[in-house]
Structures are given as structure tokens and as C-alpha cells.
Structure 1
Amino acid sequence: MNLGLDGRRVLITGAASGIGAATAMAFAAEGARLGLVDRDAEGLSAVADAIRDKGGEVRVRTADLSTADGVHSGVTGILDGWNGTTDVLVNNVGQCLARSFDDLTDADYLATFEINFLSAVRAIRLVLPGMRAQGHGSVVTNTSDLARQPEPGLVDYQMSKVGLVSLTKSLALSEGPGIRVNAVAPGPVWTPLWTRPGGFADTLGDLHGRDAEAAVRHELGRRQLPLGRMGEPDEIAQVITFMASDAAAFVTGSVWGVDGGTIRGLL
């Protein structure tokens, strides 16, 4: 589809794999200019090469977004090549490990909030001055269905995502009318967040006392998704791209569920 994103500057965090990589490819297909940040230099290079092979324009910056210095160096490294501003920010970076409440330490909570919540706060803080000066901008943050419908064993992750929902709502109020601020709330999506060694699937297996594959089946069985399957990164990326575009010009403060129907509530 043509969303009018040709030439727009789009900065994406956590862009080396999964939803972030799919989102970068979706924006590139719309003619946007990409700035990608991730700590995975190899994955980042592969995504950038794929975009360039299709004639796209892309800048990359390797940085650890779980730290204040990492967010600053990564985001400003992209913005410096764009006269200090961007048209779109996609906050995508995050992590999810399955751990019981009793196993979680203060350090675990802080580490989760650093990468899932504060990375977004810090990135937004860096892009807002330029967006305000140019009079327009769009921020889309990747939260989770679990922010609205919690499950056991993911307390720290869910709390960090609730914070992102609240941040989205608050900034939509304070930054309008020039800057739109929205979020997507994916359900289970088969990405490296799940599949990497020591990732969500492995830790879910540890939590439930079974192998990773059986634990994933158990988790999905409990959620009873009406569509009967996990999502694909491209399916989230298409919604992010739409929400960042002028096609969604009357949408702000929205948290768009892309979850296969997992949320049962009316709100």
C-alpha cells in the first residue's frame, strides 16, 4: 500500500531481528529513509544490506539500549546525520524472560525496566525537541497484550509494558496536535525473543518444568487465541507502519492490539 512515507526519516530501535527487522523492511518498502539501532552488529548489518539491495537508504548504529549512554550514542548517532531530527520513532527494543515472582530480584526488575521502559523514555526524550521544532512527528512504541491481560510468570515484563501504555497516553496528551504518540500491543509472535538460547521459550520451559516446545504449546493453550496460531513479525510491522503514517492522522493515544484475539475485555 502507499502510505505517503516516501522520504520520511524513520528511527527504529531493536531493529536487528524479529519485529524490528520486519518493521524496517516495511518502512523501506514505502520509500522511507531508515535509521536502525541495535546491539547486534551482525544482525543489524544483514537488515541494512537487505534494505540497500532493494534500493533503500539506511543508516545503522550499534549500541546497547539497556543503558542511558547506549541510547544516547545510538539515537544521536542517527539523528546527527538527519540535522538532529526524525519524522518517526519506533520504540521496539525489549526482552522477556519467564520467571516466577519468588525468583525475581530487585536487580531483575531494574534490568527489565532499563531495556523495556527506560530505553523508550530516553529515545523519546532525544527526538522530541526536533519533532517539536519541525511541528510534526510520530512515535509508535511496541508494548504487549500482557500489559492489558496479565499472565503468571512474567511480572516484571508485564509491569514494564504497562508503563509504556501509560507513557503513550500521557505523551499523546502533552505533545498534540503536532506529534502523534501511539502503541501497538502484539500477542505471541514467533521471533528471536522467544527462540534464542536462554530466551522466552527456554525460560518458559524452566518455569513449567518441561522442554521449551512443550512449554510454548502449554502457554498458547492457556491463552486460547481465536486465530489459533502465533503471529508473524510482518503482521505487526504492517500495523506499525500504518500508525506512523498520515493514513492514521486522526489516531493518537491509541494502543492497537495485534494479538490474534487474545484480549477478551472491552477496553
Structure 2
Amino acid sequence: MDTGLKGKVVIITGAANGIGRATALGFAKEGADLGLLDIDEKGLAEVAAVAGRHGVTVHSASADLSEAAGVSGGMDELLKGFGNRVDVLVNNVGSGAIRSFDDVDDAAWDATLSLNFMSYVRATRKALPILRANGGVIVNNASDLARQPEPVPVDYSVSKAAILALTKALARAEAPKIRVNAVAPGPIWSPFWEKPGGFAETMGKYHKMEPQAAVEHELKLRQLPLQRLGTPDEVANVILFLASDLASFVTSSVWGVDGGSIRSII
């Protein structure tokens, strides 16, 4: 099936690894040109090199997306590289750690919301004038924890719930020219989990287990029907679908890529 993505300009935040990297390479295979934004300059260079093998144009910008100036400057650099054009914005950047409510002080709340939520707001502000003029798509990366919060991590869950509210509001406000949807991944094995200080390590500290044992324990607690962690490619496949012409009648939706973790019928 023809996705209609060939020749589109796609900007992806948090593109250097994990779901962002898989999404970038998926779009490149479909012939889309890429604007990649991340703080990890080395990771960006590696993704750009691999994506470029598909014959597409790739621009990348290294920036701290937890700060307003970083998002603004990075988006400006990418938009300038494409002659002030964007067809698809994928808001993907995020971070989190397993910690209880009592362990999240004001500074930690601010840090989580600034990166996980306000980066989406700020990147969208930059893209919207162009998308309003020409039409396009926004896909936001949320989480199953936005719809079904667990005791931890509370700040991460709240930031992802805010993304769903933003998605729904923008979908109604910007229709019919702009479609806005969200993916809600469940546990996905990526650098987000395995990096020092990531979900696996902090989950181990929380459950007082080795990281791998803690992850297995968490999966049992969540009772995932598919009984495994997902992969970045499995999330990227859904992001590509939502951005494509195949999803032309899909907006204001939340697509779970969660191994069946969400039990609600709505």
C-alpha cells in the first residue's frame, strides 16, 4: 500500500535513539526527508548517516529540548534547512525514572514536565503556522501510563496524560487541515529503559531487585497479555501509519502499542 510519505518533510524530536531512531529510519525507508532533533549529537550523526543511505535529505540539530531556547533554536535550524517547510511533526522526546510521589520534589516535577510535555508544546508552536497554511500531521508519543497510571512513576504518568489532553484539544482546534493523534506505548525495551538511571535501573532500586529481575517483576504486575517488552520498531510502525495517507480519516485518536496492558474498553 502507498503511504504517501515519499517526499514529505518530517521533523522528529528525540530522534537519536530508541523509538525516535526507529521512527526516523522508518520514514527514511518510505522516502521522507528528515529533520532530526536531540541533545545527543553523536547519536544524531549515526541516525542521519543510516537514514541518508535511503537517498533522502536529512538535517539534524543538537539542542537541549528541556529548555525553551533549545526547542526554539533547534526547530528554527531545521525549518530553515527545509525552506520553512514541514509536513509531519513527531513529538517524541522524553525521559523518566521510577520513583514514588514522596521522592519527586518541585525541581523534579519541573524537569519532567519541561522535557516530556513543554517540549511538545514548544515544538508544536513552531510548526503550526506552516501546518495551518499547507496541511499536515502531528503525532505525539505518550504512554499507556497516561491512561492507566501505576503507583510509579507518578511524574512521568502525569506528563504523558497532559500529552493526551493536548492531542485531543489540538485535533479539534486544528481540523480539518491538520490531523493530530497520539501513540501510547507500553513497556518498550530501548535506551530509555537500559541507560544508566533509566527505567530498568531505577525500577531495580524501587523494587530492591537487580534491574532485569525488577523488569520481569513489573511485567507480571501489569499482566501484559503478550508477556514481553515491545520494540521501538513496533511503535514506529504505528507512528508511520498515523502520519500516512492510510490514516487520512484518523484524528484525535490514541493508539495503544502496549502488549494489551490497557484493560478499559474506551
TM-score (norm 1): 0.98
- 1:13 matched to which residue of 2? 13
Secondary structure of the residue aligned to 2:64 is coil
Aligned amino acid, residue 106 of structure 1: D
Which residue does the alignment assign to 1:130? Answer: 130
Q: Distance in 2 between matches of 1:152 and 1:215?
A: 15
Q: Indicate conservation of the 8 Å contact 1:2/1:30, yes or no.
A: no
Q: Does 1:96 align with 2:64?
A: no
What is the rounded CA distance, in whole Å, between the counterparts of 1:228 and 1:103 in structure 2?
Answer: 30
- Residue 102 of structure 1 aligns to a residue whose secondary structure is helix
Q: How far apart are the structure 2 equivalents of 1:183 and 1:102?
A: 30
1:216-257 deviation per Cα after TM superposition (whole angstroms, max 9, x unaligned): 111111111111111011010010001011110101000100
Unaligned runs of 5+ in 2: none
In 2, the alpha carbon distance for the partners of 1:242 and 1:54 equals 19
Q: Distance in 2 between matches of 1:256 and 1:221?
A: 23
Aligned to 1:155: 154
1:193 counterpart letter in structure 2: F
Q: Aligned partners of 1:169 and 1:115: how far apart in 2?
A: 20
CA shift digits 1:84-135 (9 cap, x unpaired): 230000000000100111111011111000000000000000000011122x
Deviation at 1:208, TM superposition (A): 1.1
SS of the equivalent of 1:34 reads: strand
The alpha carbon displacement at 1:206 in A equals 1.0
How far the C-alpha of 1:152 sits from its partner, in A, is 1.0
Shift of 1:83: 2.3
Once the two structures are superposed, what CA deviation does each residue of 1:144-191 show, in whole Å capped at 9, x if it has no partner?
000011111210000000000000000000000000000000000001
Which SS does the other structure have where 1:141 is aligned?
strand
What is the CA-CA distance between 1:53 and the residue it aligns to?
Answer: 2.2
Q: Give the whole-Å Cα distance in 2 for the aligned partners of 1:228 and 1:219.
A: 11
The answer for the alignment partner of 2:215 in structure 1 is 216
> Aligned-pair distance for 1:2?
2.9
- Please report the RMSD computed on the Cα atoms of aligned residues, expressed in angstroms: 0.8
Task: Give unmatched runs, 5+ long, in structure 1.
Answer: none
Residues 222-237 of structure 1: pairs in structure 2 closer than 5 A: 222-237=221-236
Distance 1:100 1:119 in 2: 24
